[in-house]
Structure 1
Amino acid sequence: MRDRPERKGKDGVAVDALRMWIRQIAKSKILSHEEEIELAKRMEQGDQEAREKLINSNLRLVVSVALKYKNYGVPLADLIQEGNIGLIKAVEKFDYRKGYKFSTYAIWWIRQAILRALDNHARLVRVPSYVIAKVSKVDETIAKLGQKYGREPSVKEIADEIGMREAEVRDLLSIPSEPISIDTPVFGDEMSTVGDFIEDKGPSPEQQALGSIIRRERIDELLSVLTPKEKEIIKLRFGLAEEEEGEGKTLREIGERFNVTRERIRQIEAEALQKLKRWSETGEFQWLKDEV
């Protein structure tokens, strides 16, 4: 496999090296489905060269996915590094007999690896820029509505004004607009940092709120393989629906919403869960149960 991009700071050398690496992999030939199957068969026989070729031919896919998350507070090179790990896992678990095109299968693993890295990026209580933008919007709306009503607006009023879910507004209200490093010196003493004065009692409210936002995105990534109807039913059953987060619905309640029998809802739920398990190889599906 080709050397991975450097995991350095934002200096020009590292940036240039990353650009050169991206240009290099862009020249890689895109494999046909037949070629993917042939490589997978050779891998079963222990052919390492086939494994390397399948990985190298899909590195551009990692870059494509990583670019979508470049403003989430983690350097692009690090996102690509994590995405590469997801790609390697996809190569190891790919079963050509199921009929999936490898790139379609791999993109799920790549996204999960990147999202997990974002979720675990905790040494700096670092808020992604897109979340900071949302926090700023909420702050502006509070000021605007405060002048209009002569009082502090409610969460519902804020949500209605900017077209956002109440649950998300509550999360955003818990997040500071500026990140604070736990390595920041205090009292001008470089021997003592903010982290030294923090008792570790678990994640802070800010971390929990940020984690809640990223967790929703991970759930949406997982459920993206379902049809819209399957996705809505799973969200309602597991208490993941935006308007009723945390409160799972019964088969009867969901059936009434869709105007079908509870048995039909049970069948759709079973089919959807089976589809999720096939895509996530069962092991990855466990995290969703843990979240609920």
Structure 2
Amino acid sequence: MAATQHKTWDVVETADIVADEPEADETGEAEREPVATMPAEDLVRASASTMAVANAPRHAALLTREEEIELARRIELGDEEARRQLIEANHRLVFSVVNKHRYSGVPIEDLVQEGFLGLIAAADKFDRHRGCRFSTVATIWIRAHVLQAIQELRPMIHVPQRVANAAKRVWRATEEMTQELERRPTSEELANKLSLEPERVDELIRITPDLLSLDEPMGEDGDGAMVEMMADDVQTSPPLAAQRSCLKGQLSAALDRLSEREQLILRMRFGLDDGQEHTLDQIGRRFSLTRQRIKEIETTALAKLRQEATPGQTLDAGWAAN
């Protein structure tokens, strides 16, 4: 496979990667045995072993928050052993992300390779001062690399315009019903709303599983090409995505300091309840207010939270005014 050309994420191209995990004893605890490692760029040449690892159970012991912070501190000082330990303890995240895209048309070993490069980048970029767990940051970096690989390596599939339009209708209905029901609708519910057979809805979803699925919305307005919508997702920088994710966690824990309206606006804006991030216009329609007024309330609420933020934590989303 030709080396994937990443955008501008400043990714480390080589690093020691865990080739396998230690077996668990009868108590379920993983024993720390010496682990064989290989350069990241060699993973693509190890298809058979990669598949074996992908199918094996994951037993690496999870790190506590304190252990993550200590490893991150040592990594900042150039400790390669700490870097290896942080990667080893979290390589299950790679397979979790890759598993969701196993039908993308790209060989799974290629996705695993890219996922590990994302994990390496996360270990190098992790900021222990932001109050965010490493697994949150790592998942974002891994997913960005996997989606980038899918975009660049998957075979081109021609989808007739009428089918693409029908798929967009399914997506729009999914977004609308998610807000109404406060959960993702079933195929039967979508079929009833669109006057289609449930089998037809499932077929439209299956046509492009990584571009149109009930688990991964394509965008806000639905007026772009499907591939472009996926490209927009890939283009979002992992550092910014991680920053937003950390802010969500801080917001969720601090919202009781705000008024009920401020709480609801921030919950909708950052998708704290259902994972669906709403635009200023969408929230404005909910409250019968202008987008400018919603932005003012959001800014005021965030300012209140920043004033009470604990030392070492920042409430700065880098949020686009959309």
Structure 1 residue 259 corresponds to structure 2 residue 288: yes
**Which residue identity does 2:268 align to in structure 1?**
K
Partner of 1:40: 72
Q: What amino acid is the match of 2:44? A: R
Q: Whole-Å Cα distance in 1 between the matches of residues 317 and 149 of structure 2?
A: 20
Residue 225 of structure 2 corresponds to which residue in structure 1? 209
TM-score (norm 1): 0.52
Tell me which protein shows more helix as a share of its residues: 1
Partner of 1:17: 49
Residue segments in structure 1 that go unaligned for 5+ positions in a row: 140-158, 165-171, 178-207, 238-248
Where does residue 125 of structure 1 map in the other structure?
A: 156
1:236 matched to 2:279: yes
* Cα distance, 1:35 vs structure 2: 1.0
* Cα gap change, 1:37 to 1:231, in 2 (>3 Å): closer
Cα distance in 2, alignment partners of residues 63 and 280 from structure 1: 31
Corresponding residue to 1:93 among 101, 122, 125 = 125
Paired residue type of 1:125 = M
Q: Return closer, same or farther for 1:256/1:25 CA change in 2, 3 Å cut-off.
A: closer
Structure of higher CA gyration radius: 1
Q: Distance in 1 between matches of 2:151 and 2:267?
A: 26
Aligned to 1:268: 298
Aligned to 2:44: 7
Give the alignment's Cα RMSD to 1 decimal. 4.8
Q: Which has the higher contact order (CA 8 A, sep 6+)?
A: 2
Deviation for aligned residue 1:41 = 0.9
Partner residue of 1:61 out of 90, 93, 116 = 93
Q: Which residue of 2 aligns with 1:161?
A: 195
Q: CA deviation at 1:86?
A: 1.2
Cα distance in structure 2, aligned partners of 1:271 and 1:119: 38
Q: Deviations over 1:120-147 (max 9, x none)?
A: 336x3147xxx89x959959xxxxxxxx
Letter in 2 for 1:107: T
- Contact 1:25 1:56 (C-alpha < 8 Å) held by counterparts: no
From the superposition, tell whether residues 216 and 162 of structure 1 become closer, same or farther in structure 2 (CA, over 3 Å): farther
Whether the aligned pair in 2 keeps the contact of 1:86 and 1:109 (CA below 8 Å) is yes
Q: CA deviation at 1:80?
A: 1.3
CA contact (8 A) 1:25 1:59 kept: no
Q: Matched residues in 1 for 2:165 and 2:195: separation?
A: 11
Output the amino acid matched with 1:212.
E
**Distance change >3 Å, CA 34–CA 163, structure 1 → 2:** farther
